[in-house]
Amino acid sequence: MNTGMRRDELLSITWADINWEAKMLTIQAENAKSGRQHHIPLNVEAMEVLQRWAGQAGERRAGKVFEVSDIKNGWGKLITDAHIEQFRFHDLRHHFASRLVRAGVD
């Protein structure tokens, strides 16, 4: 919700893709839908989440940030348990875009 990333992009990021100092995340070309590398600025909340996740990962901070290949089952259970209807993971991307428009970003 804070990055506008696609699900596959999110699941592909590695710890090396995070530039902590610049607060920037790199999506490698082979993981981007466009086939081109791009950079995503990380806001305060995204940075805090990644820092907490890094703390939990500890010594395992090599390779992928999220060591899962798919989240469909987990996402479905989460949405069901939260009693949320008709909400897809991709809707987070739409929400992100709406927030940018409201903030005056082209």
pLDDT digits (tens, 9 = 90+) for 59-104: 667 789 988 878 888 888 999 999 999 888 888 888 888 888 888 8
- Predicted TM-score (pTM) of the model is 0.80
Residue 2 in any domain: the answer is no
- For residue 73, being part of any structural domain is answered with yes
- Is 11 a domain residue? yes
Number of folded domains that form the chain: 1
Residues of the domain holding 55: 7-102
DSSP structure class, residue 31:
G
> Is 37 inside any structural domain?
yes
Question: Are the beta carbons of 69 and 28 closer than 8 angstroms?
Answer: no
What is the DSSP secondary structure assignment for residue 64, as one 8-state letter? B
**28 contacts: CB under 8 Å, gap ≥ 6:** 12, 17, 37
Q: Is residue 85 part of a domain?
A: yes
